[in-house]
């Protein structure tokens, strides 16, 4: 029986026509096991974006990028704040946000500390733990006890308690506030209470406030210096 060559020939003695697959992008076809289509046929075509071919993953990343045109311009924010929030800043006004550090202002201490000394990262505090988790915002305080005052501002007054010292909590050493008609101190942190010492006690006037309130800076001002 005649031996056949590795290439099959037709009855006319000519080689059978071979069908070549079109090779896009000048690449080479890769064939797998018999009966399987070429590897290039299983690949997904690239996704065109702005005239270029990108892979789907790169396309998703491009979609998630921030649009610079939608972001606020810091220069415009600074200029707008200078025009609208300059001048006097009264610390006890409800809903009044502190001015930016780039704006010139004069602080009138009316019970809350000046933003020169204490500045918060948030002025709308989430009311619930779920809301805080959803916003994912951090609450921080920037404390600058040695900040300088500007022209028109008073230096923080000195509160001298003498040998007794400033009244602080015996448990956590936090400062305390007057409660129960100013007869007791309550800790601002752990809520422990104790009686007001006789040397610091004072009767209340017809307005329901201590008669020596405006003689003690710790009862009136938001910023003071303790000896």
Final residue of a structural domain among 143, 170, 189: 143
Final residue of a structural domain among 111, 143, 175: 143
**At 56, is the pLDDT very low, low, confident or very high (cuts 50, 70, 90)?**
low
**At 15, is the pLDDT very low, low, confident or very high (cuts 50, 70, 90)?**
low
> Do 16 and 8 form a contact (C-beta atoms < 8 A)?
yes
- Tell me, yes or no, whether 138 and 176 share the same domain: no
- Tell me, yes or no, whether 163 and 225 share the same domain: yes
Identify which of 207, 183, 203, 208 has the alpha carbon closest to the alpha carbon of residue 193. 183
- Tell me, yes or no, whether 92 and 135 share the same domain: yes
The label of the residue with tokens 């779920």 reads 130
Does residue 14 belong to any structural domain of this protein?
no
Does residue 176 belong to any structural domain of this protein?
yes
Final residue of a structural domain among 143, 169, 188: 143
Model-wide pTM > 0.75: no
Q: How much is the pLDDT for 71?
A: 78
179 pLDDT higher than 70: yes
- The total domain count for the chain is 2
Report how far apart, in Å, the C-alpha atoms of 103 and of each of 44, 84, 86, 115, 141 are: 56, 10, 6, 12, 19
What range does the domain containing 135 cover? 70-143
CATH of the domain at 181: 2.30.30.380
């Amino acid at each position: 029986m005649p031996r056949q060559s590795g290439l099959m020939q037709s009855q006319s003695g000519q080689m059978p026509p071979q069908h070549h697959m079109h090779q896009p992008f000048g690449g080479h076809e890769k064939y797998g096991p018999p009966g399987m289509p070429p590897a290039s046929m299983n690949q997904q075509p690239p996704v065109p974006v702005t005239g270029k071919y990108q892979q789907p993953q790169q396309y998703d990343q491009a979609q998630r990028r921030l649009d610079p045109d939608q972001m606020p311009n810091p220069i415009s924010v600074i200029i707008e704040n200078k025009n609208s929030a300059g001048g006097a800043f009264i610390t006890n006004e409800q809903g009044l946000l502190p001015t930016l550090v780039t704006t010139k202002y004069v602080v009138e201490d009316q019970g809350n500390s000046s933003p020169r000394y204490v500045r918060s990262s948030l002025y709308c505090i989430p009311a619930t733990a779920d809301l805080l988790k959803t916003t994912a915002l951090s609450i921080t305080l920037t404390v600058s006890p040695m900040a300088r005052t500007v022209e028109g501002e008073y230096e923080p007054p000195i509160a001298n308690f003498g040998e007794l010292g400033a009244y602080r909590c015996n448990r956590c050493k936090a400062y305390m506030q007057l409660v129960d008609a100013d007869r007791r101190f309550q800790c601002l942190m752990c809520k422990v209470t104790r009686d007001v010492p006789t040397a610091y006690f004072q009767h209340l006037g017809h307005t329901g406030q201590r008669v020596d309130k405006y003689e003690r800076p710790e009862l009136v001002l938001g910023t003071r210096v303790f000896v």
